[in-house]
Amino acid sequence: EFADFEQTWDVPLLNTCFELPKLFCFAFFCAPCFAYKQRSRLLDDDVENRYVCCAGQICGEHCNKVTDPCPQFCLCVEVCWCFWCAIGANRSLMQQAYRIQNTWLENCMIWCACITSWIRCILSFFVDIPDVLDFILDCIYCIFQACLQSQQEHELDIRKPRV
């Protein structure tokens, strides 16, 4: 979808923890709050009037009847219960607004994270996943989401400076 976009991310995904340590740590330790604030910035701090569940990526505008009465609460629910959808929606909003494409490595990492989570989910129906493996996967997901969110926030700081 974004292959014809000509812009790239200022900081490569794997460099975020080294080049953006403050953003990375905030995203790592306060992930849902970080995602909420990022979406708010993407909506020009007008969540009240511009919020659409998962940025319209999942169910389009079919949720408007539910989200319209209290969009701030719905965004809070989204970033807590549909966390990965929220991060993906934020990324998609940024890529569309600023015509940013992922590198092949970023796409590969995103797909690997998705496929791994599907395998983990499916396997959990048939076998008990060892706690150690579960813990390792959770750590990898936490690091990966912090990389994604800090990369996106840095890009917002460049393209849409705070006033």
Q: What residue ranges do the domains of the chain occupy? A: 7-159
Strand, helix or coil for residue 158: helix
Instruction: Output the pLDDT for position 78.
Output: 93
54-92 pLDDT, tens digit each: 888 887 677 776 777 889 999 999 999 999 999 999 999
**Which of the four pLDDT bands, split at 50, 70 and 90, describes residue 3?**
low
Least confident of 18-27, 106-115, 147-156: 106-115
116-132 pLDDT, tens digit each: 989 999 999 999 989 99
Strand, helix or coil for residue 44: coil
Q: Residue 17: CB partners within 8 Å, gap ≥ 6? A: 24, 143, 146, 147, 150
| C-alpha of 110 from chain center | 11
% of the chain surpassing 90 pLDDT: 78
Q: What is the mean pLDDT of residues 156-163?
A: 86
Q: Give the residue with greater pLDDT, 21 vs 162.
A: 21
Q: What is the mean pLDDT of residues 15-25?
A: 97
pTM for the model: 0.89
Cβ–Cβ under 8 Å, residues 162 and 38: no
Instruction: Output the pLDDT for position 2.
Output: 65
| 163 pLDDT above the threshold of 80 | no
Instruction: Output the pLDDT for position 25.
Output: 98
Strand, helix or coil for residue 63: coil
Long-range pairs for 154-162 at CB < 8 Å and ≥24 separation? 154/10, 154/11, 154/16, 154/20, 154/23, 155/9, 155/10, 155/11, 155/94, 155/98, 155/100, 156/38, 156/41, 156/42, 156/94, 158/10, 159/98, 160/41
Q: For 8, list phi and psi in degrees, rounded to 5.
A: -125, 165
Residue for token pair 């990526």: 57
